[in-house]
A = this chain, B = another copy of it.
Amino acid sequence: MKRIPAILFTLSFAVVLFSAASVQAKDPLPSWNEGKVKQSLIHFVDEVTKKGGTHYVPPSERIATFDNDGTLWVEYPMYTQVLFAFERVKKLAPQHPEWKTEQPFKALLAGDMKTVGASGMKGLMKIILATHSGMTATEFEKEAGDFLRNTNQPKIKRPYIEAIYQPQLELLQYLRANEFKTFIVSGGGIAFMRPVTEQAYGIPPEQVVGSSVVTKFQVKDGKPELIRMPKINFVDDKAGKPVGIYEHIGRRPILAFGNADADMQMIEYTKGGGGLRLGLFVHHTDAKREYAYDRKSHVGKLDKALDLADKNDWIIVDMKKDWKVIFPFEMK
């Protein structure tokens, strides 16, 4: 019996050495090209996790927030949720004879996208509210989940749930392996994203922050249910993002990742917390593998943030240059 501890010690020691070696050897971000951006990410994680270091942050405060559209999944040529709303108008039309004469529904059903576009934000809101309410939370969850799992993104010809960025999946994983808690903070609908965020990103529904409609609790025929109402409750965009973070998370993030001017306030708020903080923007520069758009885009407009990046020490991630791989299916 006396020899056992020695053997165990030797074995444990070997295991420790082996693990340390494999951790060092294994690149946590293989789909990121070597360069300044990747170095910044790894340096940041090293610094905030270094016990006794100047920039050490305890695990409970390692909050990282990610925008969704254009940051974690493809948003071009049109936000996925808008396409979902359009499809639902077609599906629900038989139950809404009034849409035959009411704009922008009439135009949408006739395929007249110019008139739909001309109806602007007001018209779009009408479509969103009409298609996102009037059902239970459970029913909506099924509709959204089915759409995201079964509808193909036109360019990559795969379901929307696969039109997500491999480098970001690795970053989320890397952060969680370093005891970060990862959150989505999106202008998109919270209930639209939640059915797939766990499967797509490993982010559970309770770590998703987004826009919402008013919901009412009711007991109908003895069944307690939540009913989605045709009224905006919260818009988690621009200056709404720090508010959404405060309400849902209650702590200031130490890393925030976006891709558009609408993410500036989230990143300002994050960087304003003092200490070492990281603020990043995906810049869509890859017309071949994904899309190239920025200052004049109708979705995910990135203009002011590009001008202010240097001054504010924001990191611009150049998709074409910094990402070796774009989509998970390229890995197979």
Interface residues of A (CB under 8 A from B): 4, 7-8, 11, 60, 63, 137, 181, 183, 190-191, 194, 198, 204-208, 212, 215-217, 219, 223-226, 233, 239-243, 246-251, 265, 268-269, 271-272
Assembly of this chain: how many copies? 2
Interchain residue pairs A-B with the least CB separation, the first 5: A205-B250, A224-B272, A217-B239, A217-B242, A224-B268
- Provide the bound-state CA to CA distance between A272 and B138, in Å: 12
Is B250 a contact of A206 with CB atoms below 8 Å?
A: yes
Is B194 a contact of A269 with CB atoms below 8 Å?
A: no
> Closest Cβ of chain B: how far from A13's Cβ, in Å?
14
Is A265 a contact of B224 with CB atoms below 8 Å?
A: yes
- Given the known interface contacts A243-B226, A249-B205, A250-B190, the answer about A217 and B4 at a Cβ–Cβ threshold of 8 Å is no
Is A216 a contact of B190 with CB atoms below 8 Å?
A: no
Point out the residues of chain B lying under 8 angstroms from A240, CB to CB: 217
Point out the residues of chain B lying under 8 angstroms from A268, CB to CB: 219, 224
> Closest Cβ of chain B: how far from A18's Cβ, in Å?
15
Point out the residues of chain B lying under 8 angstroms from A246, CB to CB: 137, 215, 226
- Provide the bound-state CA to CA distance between A194 and B252, in Å: 13
Contact partner, A11, options B4, B204, B215, B242, Cβ 8 Å: B4
Point out the residues of chain B lying under 8 angstroms from A247, CB to CB: 190, 212, 215, 233
> Closest Cβ of chain B: how far from A206's Cβ, in Å?
5
Contact partner, A216, options B63, B224, B239, Cβ 8 Å: B239
Is A242 a contact of B226 with CB atoms below 8 Å?
A: yes
Closest residue of B by beta carbon distance from A238? B217
> Closest Cβ of chain B: how far from A243's Cβ, in Å?
5
Most buried by B among A212, A219, A271: A219
Closest residue of B by beta carbon distance from A137? B246
- Provide the bound-state CA to CA distance between A207 and B248, in Å: 8
> Closest Cβ of chain B: how far from A317's Cβ, in Å?
22
Is A269 a contact of B7 with CB atoms below 8 Å?
A: no
Contact partner, A224, options B198, B225, B249, B269, Cβ 8 Å: B269
Is A206 a contact of B181 with CB atoms below 8 Å?
A: yes
Most buried by B among A198, A242, A269: A242
> Closest Cβ of chain B: how far from A258's Cβ, in Å?
15
Point out the residues of chain B lying under 8 angstroms from A205, CB to CB: 249-251
Is B204 a contact of A60 with CB atoms below 8 Å?
A: yes
> Closest Cβ of chain B: how far from A95's Cβ, in Å?
25
